[in-house]
Copies of this chain bind each other. A is one copy, B any other.
Amino acid sequence: MAKVIAPAAAVSGKVPGATWIYRFEQGSASMRDLLGGKGAGLAEMTRAGLPVPDGFTITTEACLAFYRNARALPPGLAEDVRAHMTILERNTGKSFGGRENPLLVSVRSGARVSMPGMMDTILNLGLNDQTVEGLAALTGNARFAWDAYRRFVQMFGKVVLALDGEHFEHVIAERKRAEGVKSDPELSAEGWRAVVAAFKDIIARESGAAFPQDVYAQLFRAIEAVFDSWNSKRAIDYRRFNKFPDDWGTAVNVVSMVFGNMGDDSGTGVAFTRNPSTGERALFGEYLTNAQGEDVVAGIRTPMAIAELEQRQPGVYGQFIEIAGKLERHYRDMQDMEFTVERGKLYMLQTRSGKRAAEAAVKIALDMVDEGLISRQEALRRVGAESLNQLFHARIDPREHFEVAATGLNASPGAATGAIVLDADTAVAWAAAGRAVVLVREETAPDDVHGMISAQGVLTAKGGATSHAAVVARGMGKPCVAGCEELSIDARARTVTIGGKTLREGDPITIDGTSGRVILRGLTLIPPPSELPAWLARFLGWADEARRLEVWANADTPEDARRARELGAQGIGLCRTEHMFFGEDRLPIVREMILSDTPEARAQALERLLPFQRDDFSGILEAMAGCTVTIRLLDPPLHEFLPPYEDLLVETTELRLRYGENDARFLEKQRILERVRQLHEQNPMLGFRVCRLGIVYPEIYAMQVRAIVQAAVGLRRRGVDARPAIMIPGVGNLREMEFTAEHARATVAKTFEELGAEAFEIQVGTMIELPRACMVADQLAGVAEFFSFGTNDLTQTTLGYSRDDAEASFIPRYLELKILAEDPFQVLDREGVGALMRIGAERGRAARAKLKIGICGEHGGEPSSVAFCDTLGLDYVSCSPYRVPIARLAAAQAALERAGKREGADQD
């Protein structure tokens, strides 16, 4: 065999040092980056002695050279291909473009990781008006030969020449009508011959040039088309979604054709070594007799389950079972295989690690540990942390078939279905009457929160993944599709228009916050599990053993706290007190407090708010007994609690025109408008908020601190181990820290005294959410007992991006132009925000060695950001309850990665 393997370097000698082509025997699984996943798999199978059709792989480097060469084959590549085709001819005994025994090949893309359906494949290449006759003679099957030819011409037209597939389908449909048959297999050889002629006419007409009869011209254009498909829009979108880099490029596999459509002893199939949905340990797949791979995909004929092959071709089946087991053991992972049977002979066309649903991923990993195939650590590495997200939300039943009317931002995962409601009050009313509703708004504001609580999910026309709707919905664990640009709302007519269709309030709608899809009818949903299933608990138990980082949760209500604890949270890293201010029974008092003209009136309103806060805190502290509950004092600008400025402007104008300037209704509204105007800010994000509120109005923070202490003392008297900690938001300089901490500590002491209670430790710390706080972290740590990085705000200030605006305006364009590799509100920006965090953590620890440091921005539940926090040496990450399992696994993976690196370094 050795003498037919051309030394690749010699063949491509024209470009010194570049080896652009490897025969399958020359590659291996370890060369995935260069040969792509498919090429590496074919090479590995070939080396393992499995039956693989002969062929070779053009490397990803050749693809990059193609792009550098202005999308033309780089110099020397064509010669290399010709040389390898000659070897292929010799090995198969066939002739490429030869009439007697024509060599046909498939040209298949293959990137480093599988991108199913994203890039192009061309089959039956090498057929032309001459070779088709040779194929017909050789197989004695003219129908087969002409069918193969038409398939090739059709694929070439669609893939290489980018012609509309409709043209071709139309011809086939015409021909079937003419012959009076219903399905493709019934069509005669003559029929297919006529179809080919018509196809060639279409190509000549639509592309302006005749279908190439020269087989090398076919081959080179097909290779170019595959390279080109790396940068097709759908491929780019797919990479963006999956966060793959653009500079990987794709390899191209040229494989001698085998035919599954040469009769009933032929066929083609795909199979997984285990069930990719459930993880069950049994071969799972489909087989279609007398067919090529594309027939399976086309879904024209119904394939049979793989197991049935045992009856039909027991020998082939037995061989396949053996190969499947061998591959799984070889790769130590569940395999996704493609194969073809040509006249009773089995050919393996592809093998790769199979994609699987989260549930299957976990179960397969557990089983493989039990089977002794992989270690626990390997099992933990095998499951994508982010994928666990699937397990904790309702999802659309996969058996549903539906049309997607529009797609928005996948702002909060899970699916929801219900009647459209256009305002919060209606949502509350209809929900109270037992109807499931989906709140549909231009965008949401604090005023809408009660409606969001009542709704199954939220759909907005504006706002990004960290808009109010998105953040609040995620906090509540409700599905949300935000920034759906195709949505417009007519509030007067009580209708919405989505993707050109108009619906009335009350019409059913379904949203999928996991994918961003909007469907204009009610669909059946599969609910999430009510508790951690045993298999997942076992798996996460291993993660807990492996990780260094603690995982805490962000929770504002007792329900959230309980859920977080069930899912494994070891503390509450962020309990936002302002959400408690939005309750229907509290908001009027909060407004009274803000609109107070005198400190006395303000104090009275605060006094009435205190019991509410105390009860809120009590519930959360009890749910988290024995664990720290970090309560952040009031954070948002006060005007968030007042009616929107814009609404008031319109209303006062209406009242003025209707009733005149002296009317009491106008004057009262005008008074509120004035106060809102006073509080109105150009940039509220950078305005009168965070600890600035607590410094200018110390009585607000004092009330909150008293409520915390009262709640904790009450619980401890009942034997509940309540452990509150007080977190001051938005501190930027030492004096702010001193002022607020001194006030808080004094109030704690005073409240203990008032209650006649024995004092216990209540730590006072701060959120680090301003660049300045990072720079003076050493000063702050002299006063603060803990830090929590508030990376949402820190991202806003470090980058100068308003999260309310940027995700709806320039960030999408920035991602498109690759100015940004990731949305920094979703994935922590390591070079900017991360660099500041490093400074903050280092300086903080320098001043107070035992400073506890965590993160409570939304990045705390995003796997790659969790990994970064691990390298920073933080003590904990805190995320929304449903992301706790994700963070547990991500933290374990980060620790394993770190250990691996350390081991690697030790070995150097």
> Footprint of B on A, CB under 8 Å?
645-646, 649-650, 653-654, 657-658, 681-688, 690, 692, 695-696, 730, 732-733, 735-736, 739, 769-772, 775-776, 793, 796-802, 804-806, 809-810, 813-814, 817-820, 829, 831-833, 835-836
**Chain B residues within 8 Å of A770, by CB:** 798-800
Say yes or no: A806 contacts B686, CB within 8 Å: yes
Q: How far is the CA of A365 from the CA of B818 in the complex (A)?
A: 60
**Chain B residues within 8 Å of A833, by CB:** 772
**Chain B residues within 8 Å of A649, by CB:** 646, 649-650, 653
Say yes or no: B776 contacts A686, CB within 8 Å: no
**Chain B residues within 8 Å of A687, by CB:** 802, 805-806, 809
**Chain B residues within 8 Å of A695, by CB:** 810, 813-814, 817, 819
Say yes or no: B681 contacts A775, CB within 8 Å: no
**Chain B residues within 8 Å of A820, by CB:** 733, 735
Say yes or no: A681 contacts B802, CB within 8 Å: yes
Inter-chain pairs besides A646-B646, A681-B804, A683-B805, 7 sampled, C-beta below 8 Å = A646-B649, A653-B654, A681-B805, A683-B683, A685-B686, A686-B797, A775-B832
**Chain B residues within 8 Å of A776, by CB:** 831-832, 835
In the assembled complex, the CB of A23 is this many whole angstroms from the nearest CB of chain B, namely 40
Closest residue of chain B to A776 (Cβ to Cβ) is: B831
Say yes or no: A771 contacts B836, CB within 8 Å: yes
Q: How far is the CA of A654 from the CA of B652 in the complex (A)?
A: 11
Could you show 9 A-B contacts with beta carbons less than 8 Å apart? Answer: A649-B650, A653-B654, A653-B657, A687-B806, A695-B814, A735-B818, A770-B799, A772-B833, A775-B832
Say yes or no: A692 contacts B771, CB within 8 Å: no
Q: How far is the CA of A683 from the CA of B645 in the complex (A)?
A: 15
**Chain B residues within 8 Å of A836, by CB:** 771, 775
**Chain B residues within 8 Å of A796, by CB:** 686
Say yes or no: B813 contacts A696, CB within 8 Å: yes
Say yes or no: B832 contacts A800, CB within 8 Å: no
Say yes or no: A835 contacts B775, CB within 8 Å: yes
Say yes or no: A696 contacts B810, CB within 8 Å: yes
Say yes or no: B772 contacts A804, CB within 8 Å: no
Say yes or no: A733 contacts B832, CB within 8 Å: yes
**Chain B residues within 8 Å of A769, by CB:** 800
Q: How far is the CA of A178 from the CA of B331 in the complex (A)?
A: 118
**Chain B residues within 8 Å of A804, by CB:** 681-683
Q: How far is the CA of A681 from the CA of B809 in the complex (A)?
A: 9
In the assembled complex, the CB of A192 is this many whole angstroms from the nearest CB of chain B, namely 48
**Chain B residues within 8 Å of A735, by CB:** 817-820
In the assembled complex, the CB of A784 is this many whole angstroms from the nearest CB of chain B, namely 16
**Chain B residues within 8 Å of A653, by CB:** 649-650, 653-654, 657
Closest residue of chain B to A804 (Cβ to Cβ) is: B682
**Chain B residues within 8 Å of A692, by CB:** 810, 814
Say yes or no: B800 contacts A733, CB within 8 Å: no
In the assembled complex, the CB of A116 is this many whole angstroms from the nearest CB of chain B, namely 30
Q: How far is the CA of A646 from the CA of B677 in the complex (A)?
A: 11
**Chain B residues within 8 Å of A819, by CB:** 695, 733, 735-736, 739
Say yes or no: A688 contacts B798, CB within 8 Å: no
> A798-B771, A804-B683, A805-B681 are contacts. A832–B732 as well, Cβ < 8 Å?
yes
Q: Give the contacting residue for A805; candidates B686, B690, B799, B817; CB below 8 A.
A: B686
Closest residue of chain B to A735 (Cβ to Cβ) is: B819
In the assembled complex, the CB of A729 is this many whole angstroms from the nearest CB of chain B, namely 11
> A653-B650, A771-B832, A810-B695 are contacts. A686–B683 as well, Cβ < 8 Å?
yes
Closest residue of chain B to A683 (Cβ to Cβ) is: B802
Closest residue of chain B to A779 (Cβ to Cβ) is: B831
Q: How far is the CA of A222 from the CA of B813 in the complex (A)?
A: 72
Q: How far is the CA of A364 from the CA of B692 in the complex (A)?
A: 47
Q: Give the contacting residue for A800; candidates B654, B657, B732, B775; CB below 8 A.
A: B732
**Chain B residues within 8 Å of A685, by CB:** 682-683, 686, 800, 802
In the assembled complex, the CB of A841 is this many whole angstroms from the nearest CB of chain B, namely 15
Say yes or no: B650 contacts A688, CB within 8 Å: no
Q: How far is the CA of A686 from the CA of B681 in the complex (A)?
A: 13
Q: How far is the CA of A696 from the CA of B808 in the complex (A)?
A: 13
Q: How far is the CA of A802 from the CA of B687 in the complex (A)?
A: 6
**Chain B residues within 8 Å of A683, by CB:** 683-686, 802, 804-805
**Chain B residues within 8 Å of A646, by CB:** 645-646, 649
